[in-house]
Amino acid sequence: MARFLFSVFGSSGHIHPMLPVAKILADQGHEVGFLTAPSYKALLEQMGFSYWAPRFWNAKVASLGMPIRSRNFVRSLREAIKYILEFSLPQGVEQAKDLECCKREWNFDVLVSSDMVLGASLFAERSNCIWATLGAFLSCPLPGPAIPPWSLGLRPPKNLLGRLGVGVFSFLYRQSFRLLSIRWNKIRRNHGLPSKSISLMYSIFSPYLYLLPSPSLFDYSRSDLPPSIHHVGPCMWEEASSSTGSWVSPFDNDNPTLYCTAGTVYNSLDFVRVIVDAVRDKKVNVFATVGRNNDPVSLGTLPKNVQVVQYVPQNVVLPRVSAVICNGGSGATMGAILARKPMVIVPMISDQPENARRCEDLGLAKVLSLKKFNAENVWLAIRSVLEDARFQARATAVGDQFAALNGPRQGAFLLDQLARTRRPVLRSGNDGTSAAVERLGL
Q: Are 318 and 290 in contact (CB under 8 A)?
A: no
Listed residue (219, 200, 199, 213) closest to 156, CA to CA:
219
Q: What pLDDT is attached to residue 79?
A: 76
Residue 241 CA to residue 320 CA, distance in Å, equals: 14
Q: What pLDDT is attached to residue 61?
A: 58
Same domain, 353 and 416: no
Q: What pLDDT is attached to residue 158?
A: 80
Same domain, 105 and 116: yes
Same domain, 178 and 223: yes
Same domain, 270 and 151: no
Q: What pLDDT is attached to residue 173?
A: 77
Residue type at 339? A
Q: What pLDDT is attached to residue 439?
A: 30
Q: What pLDDT is attached to residue 170?
A: 81
Q: What pLDDT is attached to residue 264?
A: 66
Listed residue (37, 11, 35, 34) closest to 22, CA to CA:
34
Q: What pLDDT is attached to residue 81?
A: 80
Calculate Rg over the CA atoms of the chain.
Answer: 21
CB count within 10 Å of CB 297 equals 7
388 is a domain residue: yes
Same domain, 146 and 167: yes
Listed residue (136, 193, 180) closest to 355, CA to CA:
136
Q: Are 428 and 213 in contact (CB under 8 A)?
A: no
Q: Are 288 and 262 in contact (CB under 8 A)?
A: yes
> What's the structural domain count of the chain?
2
Same domain, 158 and 275: no
173 is a domain residue: yes
Residue 134 CA to residue 205 CA, distance in Å, equals: 9
Same domain, 398 and 418: no
Q: Are 240 and 313 in contact (CB under 8 A)?
A: yes
Residue 8 CA to residue 240 CA, distance in Å, equals: 22
Same domain, 370 and 414: no
Residue 94 CA to residue 5 CA, distance in Å, equals: 17
Residue type at 421? T
What is the block-wise mean pLDDT of the chain (442 residues), using blocks of 10 residues? 94 90 98 95 96 88 49 68 83 94 96 92 94 94 83 81 80 80 91 86 91 93 90 88 66 94 75 95 95 84 93 91 95 96 92 94 95 96 97 97 94 98 82 36 27
Residue type at 39? S
Residue 95 CA to residue 36 CA, distance in Å, equals: 10
Q: Are 110 and 130 in contact (CB under 8 A)?
A: yes
pTM for this structure?
A: 0.89
Q: How far is CA 135 from CA 13, 115, 173, 264, in A?
A: 10, 5, 22, 18
Same domain, 370 and 428: no
244 is a domain residue: no
332 is a domain residue: yes
Sign (positive or negative) of CA dihedral 264, 268, 271, 273: positive
Which string of DSSP letters, residue by residue, matches 307-370? EEES---HHHHGGG-SEEEE---HHHHHHHHHTT--EEE---STTHHHHHHHHHHTT-EEE--G
Same domain, 78 and 210: yes
CATH number at residue 429: 3.40.50.2000
Q: What pLDDT is attached to residue 65?
A: 45
**Domain span holding position 363:** 257-403
CA atoms within 13 A on the CB side of 230: 38
Which secondary structure element, helix H or strand E, spans residue 35, and what is its range? strand 31-35
Q: What pLDDT is attached to residue 34?
A: 98
Q: Are 382 and 373 in contact (CB under 8 A)?
A: no
Q: Which residues of 133-147 are buried (b: 16+ CB within 10 A; e: fewer)?
A: bbbbbbbbbbbbeeb
Sign (positive or negative) of CA dihedral 91, 46, 244, 233: positive
Query: Which residues contact residue 380 at a Cβ distance below 8 angstroms, ignoring those fewer than 6 apart?
Result: none
243 is a domain residue: no
Residue spans of alpha helices (H) in 107-193: 119-127, 160-190
108 is a domain residue: yes
168 is a domain residue: yes
Q: Which residues pair with 220 in a beta bridge?
A: none
Q: Are 300 and 276 in contact (CB under 8 A)?
A: no
3-7 and 50-52 beta bridge pairing: unpaired
248 is a domain residue: no
Same domain, 22 and 106: yes
Same domain, 123 and 169: yes
Q: What pLDDT is attached to residue 433?
A: 39
Determine the Cα angle at 184 with ends 182 and 186, to 5°: 70
Q: What pLDDT is attached to residue 50?
A: 97
Q: What pLDDT is attached to residue 239?
A: 76
229-231 and 31-35 beta bridge pairing: unpaired
Which secondary structure element, helix H or strand E, spans residue 134, and what is its range? strand 130-134
